[in-house]
Amino acid sequence: MEKWINLLCNRIVERYRGSRVQHFAGRHPAFRRFLCFFYRYRYGNVLWIGIVYPLWFRSLESRITVSTGYHIMHTHLDDLIPFYAVFIVPYFLWFLYIFTGLAYFLLVNKEDFYKVSLFLFVGMIASLVICEIYPNGTDFRPAYLPDKNIFLIMVKRLYRIDTPTNVFPSIHAYNSLCMHIALMKSKNLREARYGRFVRFASGLLCILICIATLVLKQHSVLDVGGALLLCFITYGFIYGYPSFALGEYWERYSAKKTK
């Protein structure tokens, strides 16, 4: 391990030979190791694309308001779904779920990392384009929430920072579905000793996050349905549609029968 680290460090030193970076790294071993890590996983720079989404989303939030008008995403089924503040926990766990999943693929498998990153970013950008063309929002958030417990307080703060606009399709649901699919398709995770538990936990958390978007009145059933449809479409571009795989199996089966 030490030999591998030194080899990587030497490559970095050669690249920055004679520079202040080399001089500083020589005097600070911790910084030297950080450079080694950065060089080893430099393909993670693709995550900088993720900066586009929050900037674009904030722009939409400022431009699409009640005064400008938007299409209401509301069905009768939304009125039948009860409100449960406790689901704020899996709703916020979404951030840890996505971050941990990306970190896992970054460290374990370069190809899988590129695929899941593309899977996430294509859908996220597509959702922003949809909101630009079709401004949308909800109108069924609770009018009043008492400060009875920590969960209600967290929901109130969520409502304060996140407006009920630009909700279709649900990015919370879409990203959760993408990450779970990527983890299920990971060969490294499938062969790992803890792989079965991680995949089960991922599936459970994915379901809870999708439910949370509905019972917290953050999204309509239409938004989650839109996320499912968008996930199906982008899945085909990243991993290939199942029908293509079935076609290959049918060709092999037909070839065997003709022999």
Q: What is the pLDDT of residues 25-36, one digit of tens each?
A: 455 556 455 545
Q: How many Å apart are CA 65 and CA 59, to the nearest integer?
A: 11
E strand intervals along 98-231: 136-137
Better pLDDT: 174 or 244: 174
Q: How many Å apart are CA 14 and CA 170, to the nearest integer?
A: 47
pLDDT confidence tier of residue 205, bands split at 50, 70 and 90: very high
pLDDT confidence tier of residue 256, bands split at 50, 70 and 90: low
Q: Is the peptide bond before 90 cis (omega within 30 degrees of 0)?
A: no
How confident is the model over 117-154, as pLDDT tens digits? Answer: 989 999 999 999 999 999 999 999 998 888 889 999 99
Give Dmax (Cα) for the chain.
Answer: 74
Place of tokens 């996050």: 209
Phi, psi of 71 (to 5 degrees): -80, 135
The closest of 49, 40, 56 to 6, measured between CA atoms, is 40
Q: Which amino acid is at 249?
A: Y
How confident is the model over 44-82, as pLDDT tens digits? Answer: 455 666 778 888 999 999 898 878 889 999 999 999 999
